[in-house]
Amino acid sequence: REPHCLDCVGPRSPGPLCPRGPSHPHPAPRVGAHSPVSAGVEHVSIRLDLESEFHFTHLIMTFKTFRPAAMLIERSADFGRTWKVYRYFAYDCASAFPSTAPAPLRRVDDVICESRYSDIEPSSEGEVIYRVLDPAIPIRDPYSPAIQDLLRVTNLRVNLTKLHTLGDNLLDSRREIQEKYYYALYELVLRGSCFCYGHASECAPAPGAQANVEGMVHGRCACKHNTQGLNCEKCDSFYNDLPWRPAEGRSTNACRRCNCNQHSRRCHFDMAVYLATGNASGGVCDDCQHNTMGRSCQLCKPFYYRDPSRDLRDPRACRACDCDPAGTLDGGICDAHDDPALGLLAGQCRCKAHTWGPRCDKCQPGFFRLSGDNPQGCQRCQCHPQGTVSDGTQCDPVSGNCFCKHLVTGQSCDQCLPEHWALSHDLLGCRSCDCDVGGAHHNQCAAETGQCPCRSHMVGRTCSQVEAGFYLARLDHYTYEAEEARLRQGTVVERAQPTGRPATWTGAGFAHVPEGGAMEFLVSDVPASMEYDVVIRYQSQLPEPWEEVKLWVLRPGPIPTGSPCGNTIPADDRLATLSRGSRPCRYVLLPQPVCLERGIGYTLLLELTRYTSRQAVPGASVLLDSLVLVPRYSSMEMFIAGDAGAMGRREAFERYRCDHHAWAVGTVPASEVCTSLLTSMSAIIHRGALRECSCLPCAPWAAPASPRMGKTLAICWPGS
């Protein structure tokens, strides 16, 4: 390129020493025939910046003036950053460059001071010649790094440091003295060649350089051997498998292409890899594509595996693992390739301890709830061995719910269903509480003991038994003696209890009431608000049944709407007996029940209006024994709740006519079924068992009908 002087400066007063007029391109620049100078300035530099690295061979300077009394030639091989001296020239080396060795040259790269080009003579056209490789020194290997390095230049600088002054002293400041001495050059010739490390046989202009100049040697090498750069100083991209090296003799040391298996177009050289491979290969591929990785893109990335059916260079050679991350080790990594020795199978998922399946997405039998947070993958089923249908090891793989026996519940099958107890190895798992429908408050029993919640003074697991000192009432417990009622007409007839046989009446005797008479029963102790059947016990004095008998329920006030008796209408409180047939009997059941409320006092008015209307019967009368209020079963939840149990109880109650015993005096329940039902009824009606009366032994006619049904009914009243 155009030679130019960047640094034409003297030590004190900078001045140009640049060629003017026709100038010549490097490397044979010619300084103008008459160059302007800064007269009297001793320290002057001529600097040449070259377009690239060159092999510099020699320099010839032809001076118009005296040659310099001292000068030196420097070079840079790194574009001006650092400089080294090639050679010193001085008329008197010992005084100009005292620390530098004088000629002759001993080794080719010695830096010496030479005196033969610094003489005063000739006064004009004197030359200074410098050869980098002195022909007097034999060179064994011109391609050795030391020689190559010696030749390499990017910049050249000639420092002129001392003028010949012919006896004048330059410190003399007179103008004529100063103008007498200066440097002037006819010509500066630089020879060399472009520098391509043996990887080019020709050079071309560097970018921006002037082309087609005769004699010009350009610096941009036409690189071969897969090299690039102005001086072929580096390998082509993607040719980094070997370290870049200069060609040596017949050895091209060409750069070698990287092998990236067609998964990358970029690579770099890595010396560590090169050494590790025994200097075989140092190329490392960059940005491997197609899910590959590795120095040669020869491996599949994590979470991909090598498809054995495809060539390594196939873009689809690496396939994504198909593993459930939650159930697979290491977040879903599969075996990257086949390796029988290591037991590897390309694409195979490696399941966590408790998962299975090709994708490791299932819990093993006996485990549940697949979760990525669980290092084992799934949790072990927690099933109660007694409550599950299998051996307790299995559960729902998603929810973890165990498979419970029929009467067992809970996720772990460790609880009995409501109204059941005693979890065990039984087929059904638990037993029914079977709490007594009356003796217990409800049918929920304790899970361990099966104990039902008993009403007051009821005992036993199912609450079907009565605490000692307590009893349950018979159905005719609420018996009101006629002889104790208020008689409007008639008299009391006492009758002693018979000996040797049971009495057919209760209490002290009867009320003898004539036709048209009436009596009032005061009732204030009904145990529960419900319907009661009314039974009138009597002894007939006449052959025919009475034609017209009426019972009136006289209430103290209106019935509250919310009461169980709230639906009663006035007509319900007027009851009339009808003939029960022609045969005289000891009792009559009124066709309608009455609804009575607990805690309310009633008057039940009984009118014996007419015996018969067909003929007059003088002195017609009846011996009334008592009036009985029988709790009506069809008024109780335990019979009408609608569930299977209630329907079964009702069916049994009606089938065995469990209430019939309450009608006549002294009869007992016909069956155990009735006994049990009546037990429950009494416990409900009385909210538990009743305390036995303290007046034992009672009257001999009141022998207990049943050990469980209380004693001394005739004279013991609730609360007495």
Binding residues for Ca ion, rule: CB under 5 A, are 481, 506-507, 625-626
Question: From the CB of 712, what's the least distance to Ca ion, in Å?
Answer: 15
Question: From the CB of 508, what's the least distance to Ca ion, in Å?
Answer: 7
Sequence-separated (6 or more) residues with CB below 8 Å from residue 651: none
Residue 545 CA to residue 476 CA, distance in Å, equals: 23
> Do 335 and 348 meet the contact criterion of CB atoms below 8 Å apart?
yes
Q: Of 118 and 539, which has the nearer Cβ to Ca ion?
A: 539
Instruction: State the burial class of residue 612 (Cβ atoms within 10 Å of its Cβ: 0-12, 13-18, 19+).
Output: middle
Q: Of 19 and 507, which has the nearer Cβ to Ca ion?
A: 507
Structure tokens at 183: 């440097």
Q: Of 21 and 502, which has the nearer Cβ to Ca ion?
A: 502
The conformation of residue 574, written as its DSSP 8-state character, comes to: E
Residue 393 CA to residue 23 CA, distance in Å, equals: 102
Instruction: State the burial class of residue 82 (Cβ atoms within 10 Å of its Cβ: 0-12, 13-18, 19+).
Output: exposed
Residue 631 CA to residue 713 CA, distance in Å, equals: 16
Q: Of 481 and 515, which has the nearer Cβ to Ca ion?
A: 481
Sequence-separated (6 or more) residues with CB below 8 Å from residue 394: 365, 366, 381, 383, 388, 402, 403
Question: From the CB of 604, what's the least distance to Ca ion, in Å?
Answer: 15
Taking each helix axis from N to C end, the angle separating 672-685 and 644-655, rounded to the nearest 10 degrees, works out to: 120
Question: From the CB of 626, what's the least distance to Ca ion, in Å?
Answer: 5
C-alpha pair distances (Å), 203 with each of 211, 256, 655:
11, 23, 128
The dihedral through the CA atoms of 659, 663, 666, 670 has a sign that is negative
Q: Of 368 and 505, which has the nearer Cβ to Ca ion?
A: 505
Structure tokens at 327: 């159930």
Structure tokens at 341: 């020795």
SS3 for 539?
A: strand
Q: Of 273 and 715, which has the nearer Cβ to Ca ion?
A: 715
Q: Of 506 and 680, which has the nearer Cβ to Ca ion?
A: 506
Question: From the CB of 484, what's the least distance to Ca ion, in Å?
Answer: 8
Q: Of 481 and 597, which has the nearer Cβ to Ca ion?
A: 481
Question: From the CB of 486, what's the least distance to Ca ion, in Å?
Answer: 15
Q: Are strands 200-204 and 509-514 parallel, antiparallel or unpaired?
A: unpaired
Q: DSSP secondary structure string, 50-115?
A: EEEEEEEEEEEEEESSPPPSEEEEEEESSTTSS-EEEEEEETTHHHHSTTSEESSP-STT--EEE-
Question: From the CB of 698, what's the least distance to Ca ion, in Å?
Answer: 15
Which residue is nearest to Ca ion, using beta carbons?
A: 507
Question: From the CB of 497, what's the least distance to Ca ion, in Å?
Answer: 11
Q: Of 490 and 507, which has the nearer Cβ to Ca ion?
A: 507
Nearest to 650 by CA among 673, 623, 683: 673
Structure tokens at 131: 């050869």
Q: Of 281 and 539, which has the nearer Cβ to Ca ion?
A: 539
SS3 for 701?
A: helix
Question: From the CB of 629, what's the least distance to Ca ion, in Å?
Answer: 15
Q: Of 86 and 538, which has the nearer Cβ to Ca ion?
A: 538
Question: From the CB of 442, what's the least distance to Ca ion, in Å?
Answer: 40
SS3 for 639?
A: helix
C-alpha pair distances (Å), 579 with each of 468, 593, 662:
45, 17, 20
Q: Of 411 and 497, which has the nearer Cβ to Ca ion?
A: 497
**Cα separation of the two ends of the chain:** 140
Question: From the CB of 665, what's the least distance to Ca ion, in Å?
Answer: 9
Question: From the CB of 624, what's the least distance to Ca ion, in Å?
Answer: 8
